[in-house]
Structure 1
Amino acid sequence: MADADNSNTPDLDLDNDTPSKDGWQEHAKTLREENKQWRLKFREAESKLKAAEVAVESTKTEFGEKLTKAEVAANERLVRSELKAEALKAGMVDLDGLKLADLSGVKLGADGSVEGAEALMAALKEAKPYLFKQPQSSSSNPGGAPKADEGKAKSASSMSAEEYAKAKAEALRKARNG
């Protein structure tokens, strides 16, 4: 029997319940055409997938390179800032003197600290002492820093009667001798 709803099945010969030769050939042709369409769609999807994979890999490589460059730049800035701090601590007069330094011995440690900065400053001090402040050999105040109360006048109300009399006599003597 022929099924009216299913157009993909071949017509049956009602006398012997076998499909006609023309029906099978037509059905096979239809299936081949459908198969061809699916293969074309698959190949198209496969080529799009490969193109997308290539684009992803390209983008991954590009951003990997950008990330590496950014990390290197950040590490260089960190090393330069740490060297500036170390240079100021060592007494460097002009930080442009760091441009003269050989930074090959300075490395960024795993913990983010700069290794070799102190040794670099010591070598720079020895090789180019004019870049650093010279320690003063003489002092204008060899006695050390004055005490906090020294040189400060006491108020009359905080003095004892004896201290007040001495301070008053000293002030009058200074005023007369002038």
Structure 2
Amino acid sequence: MSDDTIPPAPQPPAPPAPQLPPEPQTFSREYVSELRGENKTWRLKAQAAEEAAAKAKADADAATAAAKAAEEKAQADAAAARTAAEQAANDRIIRAELKAAAIKAGMVDLDGLKLADLSAVKLDDTGNVTGADEMLAALKESKPYLFSAPQPHSSNPTPPPPAPKPGDKKLAKDMTPEEFQAARRAIAAGRMP
């Protein structure tokens, strides 16, 4: 044979040796218990924090609802007070107008208005009292003893004294200053006026 030998074919590189997973690291039982205890502590703290947050939210919702209810109650109370004040003011206006109308109608005693049915007397939108004249007319018809003859409409409610008749003696208080001086002179002279 000849020396011509064929060199052997190069061998493909050998596959790398399989790598085994690293050997798991082991911890001591005490260390694992300590880690689990710490985990439990943090888990309990987180749970407590979540419960506290839920309670705080519920408390805040309850406080908000209570505040809203208190505000609504305050608004309702204010509206009721305003309505009551307006009604009281309207009643005063109606009573004042009724007193003036009763005097004009000739009512003897204004306490007689307590006997009247005031349900028909109202205050209109412009502030005028309506139904007062009709109510007074009905009261005058049903209880005439509360009324007298209407007074004359004047700033002087008493009529002037009647003029003296010729031949009547005139009182000094009814004389003018000139008449009084003349009457004094006549009395001094012995004549009676």
Query: What TM-score does the superposition give when structure 2 sets the normalisation length?
Result: 0.53
SS in 1 for 2:127: coil
The match for 1:42 among 57, 62, 84 is 57
Query: What TM-score does the superposition give when structure 1 sets the normalisation length?
Result: 0.57
5 Å matches for 1:22-61?
Answer: 29=43, 34-61=49-76
Classify 1:92/1:71 alpha carbon distance in 2 versus 1 (closer, same or farther; 3 Å): same
Higher radius of gyration, 1 or 2: 2
Which residue of structure 2 lines up, in the alignment, with residue 74 of structure 1?
A: 89
The gaps in structure 1 that reach 5 residues or longer are 1-21, 144-149, 156-166
Which whole-Å CA distance do the structure 1 matches of 2:137 and 2:97 have between them?
Answer: 15
Which whole-Å CA distance do the structure 2 matches of 1:142 and 1:172 have between them?
Answer: 22
Could you report, residue by residue, the CA deviation over 1:74-123 in whole angstroms, capped at 9, with x for unpaired residues?
22222112111211122211001111212122111112221111222233
Classify 1:76/1:130 alpha carbon distance in 2 versus 1 (closer, same or farther; 3 Å): same
Which whole-Å CA distance do the structure 1 matches of 2:100 and 2:69 have between them?
Answer: 47
Tell me the CA shift for residue 151 of structure 1. 4.9
Which whole-Å CA distance do the structure 2 matches of 1:126 and 1:96 have between them?
Answer: 17
The match for 1:141 among 145, 150, 162 is 162
Amino acid corresponding to residue 79 of structure 2 in structure 1: G
Amino acid corresponding to residue 100 of structure 2 in structure 1: A
SS in 1 for 2:111: helix
Classify 1:172/1:31 alpha carbon distance in 2 versus 1 (closer, same or farther; 3 Å): closer
Which residue of structure 2 lines up, in the alignment, with residue 152 of structure 1?
A: 176
The match for 2:119 among 90, 100, 104 is 104
Greater RCO structure (CA 8 Å; 6+ sep): 2
Instruction: Give the CA RMSD over aligned residues.
Output: 3.8
How much identity, in percent, do the aligned residues show? Answer: 42
